[in-house]
Structure 1
Amino acid sequence: MDPVRICSELIRINSENPPGITSDVIEYLSNLLSSLGIATDTIENAPGHCNLITRRQGDPLLLCGHVDVVPALDEGWTHPPYSGFVDDTFVWGRGSTDMKGGCAAIIAAIGELIDTGHEPAVSLAFVCDEEVGGPHGIHHLLEKELILPSDCIIAEPTPAIAPCIGQKGLYRFSMTFNGTPGHSSLYPAIGTSAVMEALKFLGFLKSLHEREFPIDPAMAGIIDHSERVLETIFQIPNLRSVLTRIMYNPGIISGGEKANIVAQKCVLEVDLRLPFGCDAHELQREIQSLVPDVNIQPSSVWNPSLTPPDAGIVHRICNQIGRTYGITTEPIVQWAASDARELRKKGFDVVEYGPGDIRTLHAIDERVRHEDLRKAVEVYSGVILSYDEGHH
């Protein structure tokens, strides 16, 4: 099975989230696995929000991926985002890196092992809504115990030579500021502007980014290594703050009623990424106490999560990456979030490792190299075989 072809075909099946309808893309994967003789079940927790799991669960290794993608506008792309265009080097399109390329490599690895006479001791799960926090995907599968604690690889895009064993935390919320309206000609002498109150809060966010958090000595080496890897990928120096500080994005601000009225309402939507050593719930309390009269609606609150660097899955995947690329490698922690945290909470040892051009993540001209897809197949196959050897 060719991961390049599978990746291209997956991209052509639009599974933008929102709306997050994944029935077609799950049917495609189900047919592929069926052609390999693997029985699957489609789990639909809400109409059109479909997940796929292999009927046999509880193997020592679970391979996991998400099939939803973030939306893309046609504007600015070299090739249309849902064309799945294939040239000599890349597969182009939305989801090629995040993470239909990873899903394609999982299927291709399974296909390759079956072709060579192996029966892989591996369970699979493809979920529908990682991009919006996973209520109908990973949360549902875990709640119903449809997948069982084991070692796990999520095929999220990572550097080719470094698996990821930890993610920063997240606090995402919206807040509604209330002002006292009045005639614009009298402000700021009379009236309180909700827009200006929001602006004051933005100043606080900026100061949050300056705050330093203690790094656990056991994490220091991993953070140093992660920083070097990050700087190599983005070709930008001094990216340590991305890993060790609170990164903040006031993603949406909307407020005011008219230019000549002092603003009565202003809504701000904020995304904060929290480093190791920062507690999401303490931060939540601190922010609420700073603006006691502001209505804060959290949508996601979680702490950083980590798989121990000495876990078996970490050794296995590092060994296999080493074999495939002819190097020695060590794991990294990363700056974004994924379903890994939910699996870790339930007792899975999770690493992320998958193909992709990380610079094009959620961006225009998202793409993945053929070579990265094929090498990921090799890594997955080797890791699966390492369990087979231990299993029999």
Structure 2
Amino acid sequence: MDKTELIALVENNQAELIELCSSLLQIPSENPDGDTAAITTFISNYLSDNGIEPLHYEANPKLVNIVANIGEEEGPQLIYCGHSDTVPVGNREKWSFDPFLGASQGGFLLGRGASDMKTGLAGLLFTAVLLKRYQLPLKGGLTLAIVADEETGGEYGVPWLLARKLIAGDGCLIAEPSNALHPTIGQKGSCSFTLTVKGIPAHGSLAPLVGRSAIVDGMAAIEKIRQVTALKGVIPEELVGLLAQSNQYLHEENPQMAGIFEMVTCNIGTIKGGTGANVVADSCVIEIDCRVPFGIQRSEVMAFVASQLAQLGIDYTVTDLGFKSEANYTLPTDPVCRAVVDNIQVVSNQAAYGVLQWACSDARHFRQYGIPVLQYGPAELSTIHGFDERVKVENVVECAKVYLLAAMDFLNGDKEDCYD
């Protein structure tokens, strides 16, 4: 089959793809405080019913990962990765439809996970099934890594599998939501921490003459810490072109976010302190989330924070919070990036290119293990993690076409004769 015939193969089977999306959306898999057992069972049955053996790896009693392989053990190895968990639904009264409706209406698939990322996951599963069902020639192997834990930091998902050498490859595609023409090939680092400030309690009627308020000291600390946004780094030379292209994309899509790729961002997420209005607070706990650009290390951010706090003469401690990572990227010239971007252009007949991302995801784990990776998936970006989450059916089908073509190119060396 040539690429035109492969595209037709997806189109001729797209009813199966949409039905698969609907089924996944109808199965609750909220995380945290959820259980992904039902969706794991469904995915396993779908694969086994189509001749693909699913392997189960229980990272946690309620979180079971699926690994499945097709193709050859020799030759290039490609990983297609997706997560089956979603963020919680939240207040159902703010949804205009049942969050587990899973229906296709008005050209959209509706429900929690429609954009993040059950329809992208369905596209990966569907692609593997087409490769198996039609015995498409592969000079390498495709691994499906379906993880049950991503939305809460992913401890029991991708890093759990990688650490145990249960998955490996020469390239990886994660079906995380992205712009239809611009997969994400690099991400800023994460540097989150908890600042605990200690004060001296006293009767509130004596403040500020007696005692020392941890809350007041915490407020002073916040003002100092927020100056971290002025830190500047040196962009690696090999990233200059990608950064310029990413800024161009950002200017067109979100002009108010100009400069986000070059700056340290600082969000004061939570503040908890004191025991009552009539007591000078003896403790204030502040959670802070910084995202670190290319050219700056996490250690530099924390050194700056320490130097700023040292100026205040306050009693404090700093502890790590959440996951930590340095800024990371895959070069646009890498074969897995070329396979995806080239085929986005084939399917869409429009110019496509990879861009940087201001947040972070499971991609960082693959890069830590030396596996080039990018993210590309269907999405209505404005609805991710929000109420009335949805995605265009057309976008889901287009992504599935790219997944199939990219797998064929990457595993067969992009040789036309490998399609015959």
Question: Quick check: TM above 0.5?
Answer: yes
Q: CA deviation at 1:166?
A: 0.5
Which residue, 77, 86, 93 being the options, matches 2:111? 93
Change (3 A) 1:361 1:228: farther
- Is residue 63–residue 152 contact of structure 1 (8 Å, CA) maintained in 2? yes
In the alignment, residue 21 of structure 1 is paired with which amino acid? D
The residue number in structure 2 matching 1:351 is 374
Which deviates more from structure 2 when the two are superposed, residues 104-113 or residues 212-221?
212-221
Tell me, in whole angstroms, the C-alpha distance in 2 between the residues paired with 1:296 and 1:343.
29
1:386 pairs with 2:406: no
1:83 lines up with 2:105 in the alignment = no
Normalising by the residue count of structure 2, what TM-score does the alignment of the two structures yield? Answer: 0.87
Cα deviation, 1:146-193, whole Å, max 9, x if unaligned, reads 001321101111111012111110012222211111122222222221
Please, what is the CA RMSD of the aligned residues? 2.1
Look up the equivalent residue of 2:346 and give its one-letter code. R
If you compute each CA radius of gyration, which structure gives the higher value, 1 or 2?
2
Please list, as runs of the form range in 1=range in 2, the aligned pairs for 1:156-171 lying within 5 A after superposition: 156-171=176-191
Once residues 336 and 95 of structure 2 are traced to their aligned partners in structure 1, the CA distance between those partners, rounded to angstroms, is: 38
Distance change (3 Å), C-alpha of 1:48 and 1:65: same
The one-character-per-residue Cα deviations of 1:98-150 (angstroms, maximum 9, x if unpaired) are 11121011112223334444265311001121122222111211111000132
Contact 2:36-2:85 within 8 A present in 1 as well: yes
Letter in 2 for 1:112: L
Equivalent residues of 1:281, 1:301 under 8 A apart: no
Match of 2:259 in 1: 241
Distance between the aligned counterparts of 2:252 and 2:378, measured in 1?
16
Correspondence for 2:388: 365
Tell me how far apart the structure 2 counterparts of residues 227 and 92 of structure 1 sit (CA, whole Å).
Answer: 31
| Matching residue of 1:188 | 208
Distance 1:77 1:23 in 2: 25
Aligned length in residues: 390
The equivalent of 1:128 in structure 2 is 148
Gaps of 5+ in 2: 1-12
Give the CA deviation at 1:7. Answer: 2.1
Deviations 1:259-312 (A, max 9, x none): 111111111112111111120122223324544642222132210011122111
Matches within 5 A, 1:1-392: 2-55=16-69, 60-73=77-90, 74-118=92-136, 121-233=141-253, 236-291=254-309, 293-298=315-320, 299-390=322-413
CA distance in 2, matches of 1:5, 1:296: 49
- How much has 1:388 moved relative to structure 2? 4.1
Offset, 1:55: 4.8
Say which SS state the counterpart of residue 241 (structure 1) adopts. Answer: coil
CA distance in 1 between partners of 2:388 and 2:228 (Å): 33
SS at match of 2:378: coil
8 Å CA contact retained: 2:47, 2:125: yes
1:12-70 deviations in whole A, cap 9, x for unaligned?
A: 22211112532211111111111210011111111111110015696621100111111
Assess, with a 3 A threshold, how the Cα gap between structure 1 residues 287 and 95 changes in structure 2: closer, same or farther.
same
* Identity fraction in percent: 33
Give the whole-Å Cα distance in 2 for the aligned partners of 1:358 and 1:352.
14
